[in-house]
Amino acid sequence: MYDVAKIRADFPILSRTVNGKPLVYLDNGASAQKPACVIEAVTRGYAEEYANVHRGLHYLSNLATEKYEAVRGIIARFLNAPSAEEIVFTSGTTEAINLVSYGWAAPRLQAGDEIVLSLLEHHANIVPWHFLRERQGVVLKWVEPEADGSLDPAKVLAAIGPRTRLVSVTHMSNVLGTLVDVAAICKGARAAGVPVLVDGSQAAVHMPVDVAAIGCDFYAITGHKLYGPSGSGAIFIRQERMEEMRPFLGGGDMIDTVTRDSVTYARPPMRFEAGTPGIVQQIGLGVALDYLMGVGMDKIAAHEADLRDYALERFKGLNWLKVQGAAPHRGAIFSLTLAGAAHAHDISTVLDKRGIAVRAGTHCAMPLMQHLGLSATARASFAMYNTREEVDALISALELCHDLFG
């Protein structure tokens, strides 16, 4: 039994009001709220348990190191990774993808080599590859979504040519909610000898993720969308790819020895984790993932599917509302536009007056927005703690927008 009222009680911020109205938080695609257990873990980490990790011989350092390193195993369990040693801590997905760009791709890609991307990608899975285009002459090959916003794996695989060195795709669009069949892409790419990076920022919070079943080489997640602290995250890197990578950042913790004339590096994953990390942030992420697994990712997915279907049914009654994308496999993420003169920023402002938080803009996905012929949308993105009543509140506020701007 999924008790959404009990879950909502775990999130202190959901009991507050905004502009005199109960908060309806529908900006989860940007960043999710935090349960009390995560807030308490972060507070305790700074107030009672803080010290730098690794190499310390005192009680607090050993305690912090034990809690920090335990998170690697929690993330491996959350992603069903074969080994905790295939998990590299990062500050989030952006750093994770840059790590792959600098550490794996840059040393091995030459001018004319290709990276296959889709138009569904977030800028975090575009700009690092543009760096290689600008600096090394790497070619970016783009695969467009179908008219309904879905991404055909066959078209992604058809884009692979003799010079393709990497496929890098999202698991779920942060704009359209499209769920991408990354397992099919990975299977075909592997047959062609091409590694695949999956941006799991949106998908990992909404559904069970099994990197072993997906068959990817890299899978990136970000903590702040997973009900954890900002500045936390990780990337699964298949062991054979780790061995091919050079360090991204240099400093403490990622070395074995340093002399005037030479340096030897630590074994992965430590080789890719330089300097004092976000200790408390990563501990908080571990608590968040334990919380999610305690609820059950399958149960969360079912609850959000109910919200998705209910919202889509309610949207049908608004003939002046356009929901961007209609992929048959999608999450509870809706980019909305209204007929008439209403701009996404106007919609967001009106909704905010009703206590409803949504995101307005291009959602860090300008190539997709250009493909759709849009300058901006208002995005309502749902989470494990949202309810059907909040869908109704959104509909009522959108009707007010239509009255004002239609």
Known catalytic residues? Answer: 364
Between CA 55 and CA 14 the distance in angstroms is: 40
Contact 245, 268 (CB under 8 A): yes
Length, in residues, of the chain = 406
Cα–Cα distance, 323 to 375 (Å, whole number): 15
Cα distance between residue 260 and residue 27, in whole Å:
51
Q: What are phi and psi of 132, to 5 degrees?
A: -70, -35
3-state DSSP assignment of residue 197 = strand
Number of neighbours of residue 44 by Cβ within 10 angstroms: 16
> Are the C-beta atoms of 55 and 252 separated by less than 8 Å?
no
22: left (phi over 0), alpha (psi -120 to 50) or beta: beta
Alpha helices in 18-58 (DSSP H): 36-47
78, 209 in Cβ contact below 8 A? yes
Tokens (6 digits) for 369:
């927005």
Q: Is the CB of residue 318 less than 8 Å from the CB of residue 335?
A: no
Coil/strand/helix, residue 236 = strand
**Within 13 Å of residue 172, how many CA atoms lie on the same side as its CB?**
23
Angstrom distance (rounded) from CA 241 to CA 215: 13
